A and B are shown apart, each in its own frame.
Chain A
Amino acid sequence: MSGAGRIERIAGSRAGVAMVTLALILLPFVLTQVGTSWVRILNFALLYVLLALGLNIVVGFAGLLDLGYIAFYAVGAYVYALLAGPQFGLHLPFWIILPIGALVAALFGVLLGAPTLKLRGDYIAMVTLGFGEIIRIFLNNLSQPFNLTNGPQGLARLDPLRLGEFDFSTRQEIAGFDFSGPMKTYYLLVLVAIAIIVITLRLQNSRIGRAWEAVREDETAARAMGINTTRIKLLAFAMGASFGGVAGGIFSSIQGFISPESFVLHESIIVVAMVVLGGMGNIPGVVLGALLLSFAPEVLRWTVTPVQEALFGRMLIEPEVIRILLYGFALVLIMHFRPAGLLPSAVRKRELEATRA
């Protein structure tokens, strides 16, 4: 919070920033050596980082437990699919669709947030969970009477990710280096993630961020201090949803195909788990949680079968099943040993120290 501390941190970490930048630039080259699919996996992990950062605004900052967050990802994805695909024959450029997707998602954030305004705590979770499902069911059924979403078949042959003449979907040689499509997409995603991290950090240390904290800590006191809690909560829903919308748009453009199946309740829960596991309200923690939980299934995919074959001579449990089991187990362990998350925010740390003392 104090100016001196901030300057000290920046000066002290200039070398650190340079190293992180270099690592981020080199990472896809290294991963390509391991296996080309890893860059693609990394890209999906970055999409989850965007989602987790968005949800963190609602859950971590404003303290509103949203269990239907994936709906906004879906909204962003479908906005892209409808505006850059054969469904209506529209092919708007990516950089126009992305802000539209963010805006539409924000609007849905307000629409779905509004009915929860009078609710507190667990009741918000229940209502948002229901709304998340409603959106998915709508997407599944809006093929009649007027075919908007093409129902469960989903929307295919979407325009690939392109910025002007620059195509992110094809292999290309730049300055003597060979860049695959996923590698190029990776750099775009890193830039978007950094932009969102900067925005989130700035929001956190602002008048709006403090108002969110006030609502989370004590809504009645916040109102008595003149904070319009209705507006400030809707703002959290809208901001969080807009990040989800951006992530959804990018997801559509990378995949080239979307269907309601990608936006099930399970996905909402995974994003909540990322935020909680990493450390609610703390941005490095949330990023870490998102990366860990999105890489875990891939690591398991490569290890579970060989380990079981070595132990039992054959595979007894599918990696998919073990994944859910391990998620649950990891969350239980985290709640027991580090209830504020792997990298807790200063506020949560204070909170826990106070309750233990």
Chain B
Amino acid sequence: MTPLLRAEAVSKSFGGVRALHKVSFTIAAGEIYGLIGPNGAGKTTLFNVLTGLYRLDAGRFSFDSAPLEGLAPDKVAARGIARTFQNIRLFANLSALENVMIGRHLRTRAGVFGAMLRTRATRAEEAAIEGRALELLDYVGIRARANDRAGSLPYGDQRRLEIARALATEPKLLALDEPAAGMNPTEAEVLKRLIARIRADGMTVLLIEHNMRLVMNLCDRVLVLDYGERIAEGAPAAVQRDARVIEAYLGVAPEDHAQAGTRDAA
């Protein structure tokens, strides 16, 4: 089976800093694929090159059997990748409902003249946009807050609103950048069930997360980055025992000091 997303030797540098170095991986359709690593490992950079916010230095992405690199962010979204942001980027002054309605932009058509003349087709589309947006708010569990200012929602609800907005674009791949950040255990548990449900409904999920319980419970496979390089990949349980992963997270064990120099060179 051809994978949904294939990354081949993806590299990105900022000046002298190698944020990503020859990272390769594949994500199968229907999978929840975790992306973990210490702070500064290059996880968010990977999201940004994937979604077109940054340009790749080298390597390639292929999504749904067609190349993806070099596309502008809106074209990437049109191809079927929707994302959330690590530091929530909602349209804070608009209502929760309007946020999700904006997510429908991509899959709707009304233009200036349709809007000006308010044709029957435009009105029908508007009603459909609002209806779908309310459904999605319901789906993530914040329908009651539909008319509240997005920026005034509690933190966990903002995270879920961002997911609803991303789902509104009808993606094939949903990329979540630390959705559980700042959540208490109860909220994280609700989020875990939401992500599981999204996958059960047929979506593929790419998940950056620091909350290890979430990653270990949810993900089918996990990719571990450190200093922009792939250091491990596999089932969560296997990755957890991987010596290099432990080293990346916990630092170098005293007896391994002699080998420490070789790590950066590798």
Contacts and interface: CB of A to CB of B under 8 A. Distances in A.
Interface of A: 1-2, 199, 202-203, 206-211, 213-214, 217-218, 220-229, 235, 239, 347-348, 350-351, 354
B112 interface: yes
A124 B74 CA distance: 22
B125 interface: yes
Interface string B99-115: 00111111011111011
B169 interface: yes
Given A221-B90, A228-B74, 18 more contacts: A1-B97, A2-B147, A206-B122, A208-B110, A210-B101, A211-B102, A214-B94, A217-B93, A221-B85, A221-B89, A223-B74, A224-B51, A224-B53, A225-B166, A225-B168, A226-B78, A235-B112, A347-B94
Contacts of B53: 220, 223-224
Contact of B165 (A207, A225, A354): A225
B89 to A, nearest CB: 4
B95 A202 contact: no
B116 A218 contact: no
Given A210-B102, A213-B102, A224 B91 contact: no
Nearest to A223: B73
A274 to B, nearest CB: 23
A213 B98 contact: yes
Nearest to A195: B116
Nearest to B171: A226
Contacts of A214: 91, 94, 102, 105
A239 B78 contact: no
Q: Which of B93, B147, B149 has the largest number of chain A CB atoms within 10 A?
A: B93
Contacts of A221: 85, 89-91
B112 A203 contact: yes
B129 interface: yes
Contact of B118 (A202, A213, A229, A347): A202
25 contacts: A1-B95, A199-B116, A206-B114, A207-B105, A207-B126, A207-B129, A208-B111, A209-B115, A210-B105, A214-B91, A214-B105, A217-B91, A221-B89, A221-B90, A223-B77, A224-B51, A225-B102, A225-B106, A226-B78, A226-B169, A228-B74, A229-B74, A350-B149, A351-B93, A354-B152
A265 to B, nearest CB: 29
A233 B122 CA distance: 21
A210 B97 CA distance: 11
Nearest to B91: A217
Contacts of A202: 115-116, 118
Contacts, number: 115
Contacts of B125: 207
B89 A208 contact: no
Of the four ranges (under 10, 10 to 19, 20 to 34, 35 or more), the interface on chain B belongs to 35 or more
Interface string B118-153: 100010011001000000000000000001010110
A209 B112 CA distance: 9
Contacts of A354: 92-93, 149, 151-152
Interface string B50-81: 01010000000000000000001110011000
B93 A226 contact: no
A108 B239 CA distance: 59
Given A210-B101, A354-B152, A223 B91 contact: no
A199 B168 CA distance: 27
B83 interface: yes
B173 to A, nearest CB: 13
A226 B105 CA distance: 7
B77 A226 contact: yes
Contact of B102 (A199, A220, A222, A228): A222
Contacts of A223: 53, 72-74, 77
Contacts of A1: 95, 97-98, 147
A207 B51 contact: no
Contacts of B147: 1-2
Contacts of A211: 102, 105
A221 B95 CA distance: 15
Nearest to B149: A350
Q: Which of A1, A206, A218 has the largest number of chain B CB atoms within 10 A?
A: A206
Contacts of B169: 225-226
Given A199-B116, A203-B112, A213-B98, A224 B93 contact: no
A324 to B, nearest CB: 33
Contacts of B89: 218, 220-221, 224
Nearest to A354: B151
A1 to B, nearest CB: 7
Contacts of A222: 91, 102
Nearest to A211: B105
Contacts of A347: 93-94
Contacts of B126: 206-207
Nearest to A350: B149
Q: Which of B82, B83, B89 has the largest number of chain A CB atoms within 10 A?
A: B89
